[in-house]
Amino acid sequence: MRARVRSVLLVFTGILAKEAKLLTRYVGSLFTILALPFMLSGLFVGIGYAIAGPSYTANFASNTGVQSPVLYLTLGGVLMIASMVMVENTSSVIREEQLIGTFELHYLTPNSTVAIWLLHALAQSILLILVFTLDLTLAVALGGSLLTPYECAEASLVILLGLLPLAGLGMVVAALTMRFKEVWAVTNTVNAFVAMLSGFYYPLEVFPTVVQAVSNLLPTSHAAQILRALVTGTASGLDFTQKILVLAALGSVYLLLGKTVYEGWEDEAKRRGELSKY
């Protein structure tokens, strides 16, 4: 058992180091990821001011219950960009491995391929949390306060539990790559669906009841609500615990779905001899 755990940790360490190098290799891309939540927030605030004038903050507060539009929108932007990166990277990692000719090498190792792809998702989640912690700190500081280390830890846990289930969706899309070889159309569709129904930039109450029910099946919708409640100080201990349990349950379902679908497509690809068919 110890040898098994040690082996998984060694694999994860290698994947984390690889993902960190890829993330920091292109400084321009990293800066863009950091700046996007604030850029989108500024865009929406500007539109609000252009339409409603000085009363835009009062209108926003009456509709969302939050006094600071920048804080509300930036927190949503952090989750939206992180979720898009997670789905895109998890679903495209196989295609990238195929194109550079290293995909088959994973089958020469004693490690589970599903575990390798999920460890990629975990490594990306940790790196995204580290990156977006800076955004969260700046957004809260603009409101005249700072997060305590405990609040930072809670916010990181929420983001992690909100992102990891999306790896399950990414695995489903990655499974299609085994058969159809192209991933971007499906990835963009999934990202649009998640962004539209997660309430990143607006309350979910604007939707009809049926759409709200569908939104509640997305972990990112719960993560957005919890993160805003944590940062604004409106989350109760019981409510926080219940929502964390809901996030954990959704995460288990999504990851199990991704694992099941991927293994099914992988077995079929092996039978058809399509693992190396690019």
Q: Residue 50: which domain range?
A: 2-272
**Has residue 27 been placed in a domain?**
yes
pLDDT score of 179 more than 80? no
pTM above 0.85, yes or no: no
**Has residue 183 been placed in a domain?**
yes
Q: Which residues, 6+ apart, have CB-to-CB distance to 225 below 8 Å?
A: 199, 243
pLDDT score of 96 more than 80? no
- Residue (of 92, 89, 156, 82) closest to 121 by Cα position: 89
Helix spans in the chain (H): 2-25, 27-52, 56-64, 69-100, 113-142, 149-180, 184-197, 209-215, 219-232, 237-272
**Has residue 250 been placed in a domain?**
yes
Task: Report how many domains make up the chain.
Answer: 1
Encode pLDDT of 212-262 as tens digits. 888 888 888 888 888 888 777 655 554 777 888 888 888 888 888 888 888
**Has residue 55 been placed in a domain?**
yes
Encode pLDDT of 131-176 as tens digits. 777 777 777 777 667 677 777 787 888 888 888 888 888 888 777 7
**Has residue 217 been placed in a domain?**
yes
Mean pLDDT of 100-124: 78
User: Which DSSP category does 107 fall into?
Assistant: G
**Has residue 277 been placed in a domain?**
no
**Has residue 119 been placed in a domain?**
yes
Give the span between the Cα atoms of 169 and 85, in whole angstroms.
Answer: 12
**Has residue 278 been placed in a domain?**
no
Tokens of 94: 């196989």
